[in-house]
A = this chain, B = another copy of it.
């Protein structure tokens, strides 16, 4: 290597795959791109580091707040993986560190900023469709959904899709919708109540939904499921 070689630097972006369950379907949060490249297409919320010194986790939280109005402290946020194909952005070399966020079915606080452009799109409407999404965001969403599906098996991630207080039925609907698979309510009830620290009863019950009132639970301290709840 010659003495004139210098360390190459590239632009770092942070992209967010924010998932939620609403209207009986799994949705991902997307924005309409207002600028080239891929102007007019749907894209994941995200952006470049604001300064050279910004932590990437902090950048993810900042983009989440700027583009969606969501507060990272109140939801599940984890790094998904990094995408660095040299041609993924036609303008320049961009390496993007992607994050997976899971949120309950909140009304999007669409106040100000770029947040107005953000909207929920059913995952099955964007997967396997070319020409709809910008960059390699279709692949990123597929990876995010895979990660979420598999983490439902071994972790308590499903509660991140729920409000702070929820019933076992609501939790079961999360599993059913994310997995696209029907689960027996009775067996599911037995399983989740059998895992130590998964669910904590609040003492309250639902009312007014028709049918027998359900016990209302809160998330417990457990993060992993022993035994796991496996798919078929």
A interface residues, Cβ below 8 angstroms from B: 7-12, 48-57, 79, 81-82, 84-86, 92-93, 95, 97, 154, 227-228, 230
> How many copies of this kind of chain does the complex include?
2
Give the CA-CA distance A97 to B154 in the complex, in Å: 26
Pick the residue among B11, B56, B79 that contacts A9 (CB under 8 A): B11
Give the CA-CA distance A49 to B50 in the complex, in Å: 22
Q: Say how far A59's CB is from chain B's closest CB, in angstroms.
A: 8
| Beyond A52-B93, A55-B85, 20 additional pairs, beta carbon < 8 A | A8-B11, A8-B12, A8-B49, A8-B51, A8-B54, A9-B9, A10-B10, A10-B12, A10-B49, A12-B95, A55-B84, A56-B82, A56-B84, A56-B95, A82-B82, A84-B97, A95-B95, A95-B97, A227-B230, A228-B230
The 5 closest A-B pairs by CB, nearest first: A56-B84, A9-B9, A8-B52, A82-B82, A53-B86
